[in-house]
Structures are given as C-alpha cells and as structure tokens.
Amino acid sequence: ARVAVLISGTGTNMAALLYAAKAESCPYQIVLVASNNPDAPGLALAAAEGVATWSLSHKGMSRAAFDVLVDEQLREAGAEFVALAGYMRILSDDFVARWAGRMLNIHPSLLPKYKGLDTHAQAIANGDRHGGCSVHVVTPALDDGPVLAQTPVAILPGDTAETLSARVRIAEHQLYPPTLAAFVMRERTPDYWLGRVREAAM
Ligand code: GRF
C-alpha cells in the first residue's frame, strides 16, 4: 500500500514508519513525505533515504487552499493512505472527507484524555499514573477519531513533560508502524489474496 506521511518538525515518527517499511514483510511503502514547514528536519532524512519530499509554507494562504495543494501532491504520488506524524496543522473538512477512513494520526496521550497540545504536562499535573500514546483514525474533530491502538507509559517520580515525552516517543515509534501495517492490511480480502495467487501463476 502506498502511504504519504505529513510532518511539521523533527519527523522521528516518520523515520520509524520509513525504517519499518524497509522490511520485506512490511505491507506499506512511504511514497511521499510532505510538510507545511520547508525547514522541517524530517525532510532531509526522508530525501537521504530516497523518498520523495514536498514542502510549502502554509503562511499567507487559507487553510482550504493550502490543503488543496497538499491533496494534489498526495494524488500525484499515488498515495492510498495518509499518516500524520507530528503534522501541526488542523486539516480542512474537505481534506478530511477526501481521506476519510484512510488517514491515521499519532497523538501523545491515552485518548480520549488530553486532546490537543501539552498532553504530558497535563498528565503529570493531574497525578496520572500513566501517560502514553494513541494511534487513531482521523475524523473532522481534533484528535477524536476511533482509536486503533495505545501504549500506556508509566509516569516516574520527578518526571517532567520533557522526560516523560522522551519515553512516550520511544513507545510511539514502536506503536505506529505495526498499527499502520495492520490498518492497510484490513483492505486485503480473500479476493485480494486469490488475485495475487493468480498473478503469480501467470
Ligand atoms: C509526537 O509526539 C506525535 O505524537 C505528535 O507530535 C510529535 C511528533 O514528533 N503528534 P516527531 O516529529 O515524530 O518526532
């Protein structure tokens, strides 16, 4: 399956998805890494790995107009699925509708707790025993779609938002690739496999 990844920053989750895709058994490949931030460090990493990249600053453009340009890039790359990985933009309703059921996001909390920003600080301030991360299907409401998988990460005495976030990030990198892999595999029905067997026999 052809996956495009949208990033705004460091792109460590994108890197985890990309490295996992190098395994021959991985059912997805990264066909494009796109960003609203031309300086996102993740772009250079993707390019060095031979993955197509595209970036354009969203500044001075309406949300809808920018998302149309992103969608054009995704179509040109032949993307079938979109993985948001630290993409710090709220998406237009049209864009979400266009990729409905084919777009995932990773969020650094145990959803439905702590949608939005500053998740780790909130978990610590509330005395939670665990922070964590969630992969969910993207729907129009922010960080709200069906959760596919979660990893709880214990909060340690003395944890700060920074130290907790560093450990949650490790969990994110473990969680996102297999969850995306399982998600793209859902479309592979018995007919799909029969087709593959027939192709192989030709
Ligand atoms: C991650 O914590 C992710 O959960 C959140 O943004 C951060 C992105 O980090 N949505 P990176 O760019 O993948 O390193």
User: Which residue ranges form the domains of the chain, and what is each CATH number?
Assistant: 2-201 (3.40.50.170)
User: What's the pLDDT at 202?
Assistant: 80
Reported ipTM = 0.96
Tell me how far the alpha carbon of residue 184 is from its chain's centroid. Answer: 13
Average per-residue pLDDT in the chain? 96
Structure-token pair, residue 36: 């609203």
The b/e string for 28-46 (b: 16+ C-beta within 10 A; e otherwise) is bebbbbbbbbeebebbebb
Model-level pTM?
0.93
End-to-end CA distance of the chain: 22
Query: Lowest-pLDDT range, 21-30, 68-77, 169-178, 191-200?
Result: 191-200
107 catalytic per annotation: yes
Q: Summarize pLDDT for 57-84 with one digit per residue, the tens.
A: 999 999 999 999 999 999 999 999 999 9
Atom 6, ligand 1: residue with shortest CA distance: 86
Q: Hey, which of 136, 153, 169, 176 would you mutate to test ligand 1's pocket, going by the most ligand atoms within 8 Å of its Cβ? A: 169
90 is in an annotated binding site: yes
User: What's the pLDDT at 200?
Assistant: 86
C-alpha of residue 11 to centroid of ligand 1, in Å: 7
Residues 170, 61: Cα–Cα separation, whole Å: 35
Structure-token pair, residue 8: 């705004």
Task: List beta partners, residue 29.
Answer: 2
Q: Hey, which of 6, 13, 43, 107 would you mutate to test ligand 1's pocket, going by the most ligand atoms within 8 Å of its Cβ? A: 13
C-alpha of residue 23 to centroid of ligand 1, in Å: 23
CB count in 10 Å sphere of residue 25:
6
